[in-house]
Amino acid sequence: MKNLTEGNSGSLIFKFAIPMLIGNVFQQLYNIVDSIVVGRYVGKEALAAVGASFPLIFMLISFVVGVAMGTTIIISQYFGAKDMKMVKRSIDTMYIFLFFASIIVTILGITLSGPIFRLINLPEDVMPQAIAYFNVYLTGMIFFFGFNGISSVLRGLGDSKTPLYFLVIATLMNIALDLLFVAVFKWGVVGAAWATVISQAGAFISGIIYLNRTHEVVKLNSLKLVFDRAIFRKSLMIGLPTGLQQTFVSMGMLAITRIVNGFGTDVIAAYSAAGRLDSLAGMPAMNFGAALSTFVGQNLGANKPERVRQGFKATLMMSGALALVTSLFVIVFRQQLMHLFTDDAAVISIGADYLVIVSSFYIFFSTMFVIGGVMRGAGDTLIPMFITLFALWAIRIPAASILSRYFGVDGIWWSIPVAWFIGMLLSYLYYLKGNWKKKVVVNRSTLVADEVMID
């Protein structure tokens, strides 16, 4: 557990973010390895099928992950306030919620997969493999939610290193199983999906065993878990806007995918591969933003608002520098990066164009996420939700639709940085307004009164 309320702000955030970043890079490798292996050993139709599955997977899990983030923020604030009893009850509540949510998501996803793929205009030559991959992938939702729940709880307590070790092992296992099931056993996209499910199960089970032996506060005992309705209501108040935001974002991504699908299998495959690389490149910004959220939550819980400003400035500089370096790397090596997934010249050319257009503006994406990290850490998620949805639904989707009519697929790619810029600008204006400072969950006066009574 890491106390972020004392010490150099920039150093603390950097040291806290790096293990998270490495861990999430390894988690992204699940998807990237799946895409590389099926693209190399099965074909571009399989690469397109795997890529087409992820917007739908994201849609199904986004609401649950968003709501769970509300509990993570509550955990970090109670931990900053040294109220360990409420930390424990918050953790129990999150575990119970994620368990039932995983069952619902699995049933809904498998039932609706075919109709949704048809709704987004997926080509017939890609459809069977997409449905097969997607349905197998969903069988591992209980492991996915379980491990991500454990990781979120530990991050709320300031421990970002522990999940990393299990993720590294799980990712290496996923690579080995991908090659075994797809390249050796010739199971196709189904083999790649089973490799991911087995690896996620290994990470979850390892995490549970470790926590039960070493962390009393986060120890998982299914017979002693307590669901606290008051905490869950608070979690909903904070996490519901984020959950709805994530849901509408995922629906927006499906809308974008439908536009992409209209250009055929080559474009879908290129979008799949370039999108995996793009997601990996965005990890530094997202993880620095997440680290800043925990930092802000603990310091506001400890009544140290001056450290929030220091942490924001330091994070903005660190994340911005990484964004510029990442942009340069992706632009220079775009052809080689695309070549990892396929030898198809048309797919490589389309994907390289995507990477040049989008990666040139990672600084917008980075700044937007860091600003959002401050507001999420304070518990203010409603306005950021509206900003994100506006940038996606009012800017990106219409721009993609209109520009693609005049500039082809490049018009779709240009809609991405345009939306980032608008989102960044609106987020910064709201940050300057300062209303997010009034959204802290922990009541300091109540805590002080309780401490006096205990003494």
Query: Could you report the per-residue pLDDT of 403-432, keeping only the tens digit for each?
Result: 999 999 999 999 999 999 999 999 999 999
217 — pLDDT class (breaks 50, 70, 90): low
The total of other beta-carbon atoms located within 10 Å of residue 113's CB is 22
- What does the block give as tokens for 26? 């390894």
Helix/strand/coil percentages in the chain, nearest 5: 85, 0, 15
* Cβ 39 vs Cβ 47: under 8 Å: yes
166 vs 365: which has the higher pLDDT: 365
Query: Could you report the per-residue pLDDT of 37-88, keeping only the tens digit for each?
Result: 999 999 999 999 999 998 899 888 888 887 887 887 888 788 878 888 888 8
pTM comes to 0.81
- Position 450 scores a pLDDT of 39
pLDDT at 447 over 60: no
Helices 283-301 and 141-156, axial angle in degrees (round to 10): 50
Q: How far apart, in whole angstroms, are the C-alpha atoms of residue 354 and residue 348?
A: 10
* Cβ 270 vs Cβ 350: under 8 Å: yes
For residue 184, give every residue at least 6 positions away whose Cβ sits within 8 Å of its Cβ, in sequence order, or none.
none
207 — pLDDT class (breaks 50, 70, 90): confident
- What is the average pLDDT across 358-380? 93
Task: Give residue limits of the domains in the chain.
Answer: 16-444
Among the listed residues 95, 46, 127, the one whose alpha carbon sits nearest the alpha carbon of residue 223: 95
What is the b/e burial string over 280-313, where b = at least 16 CB atoms within 10 angstroms of the residue's CB?
A: bbbbbbbbbbbbbbbbbbbbbbbeeeebbebbbe
440 phi-psi bin (left φ>0, alpha ψ -120 to 50, beta other) = beta
pLDDT at 325 over 80: yes
3 state SS of 74:
helix
- What does the block give as tokens for 54? 């992820």
Among the listed residues 123, 133, 110, 19, the one whose alpha carbon sits nearest the alpha carbon of residue 60: 110
The total of other beta-carbon atoms located within 10 Å of residue 438's CB is 9
- Position 359 scores a pLDDT of 97
- What does the block give as tokens for 436? 């997010």
- What does the block give as tokens for 99? 């368990």
Q: Provide the mean pLDDT of the chain.
A: 88
Among the listed residues 139, 169, 132, 138, the one whose alpha carbon sits nearest the alpha carbon of residue 42: 132
Rg (CA), the chain: 22
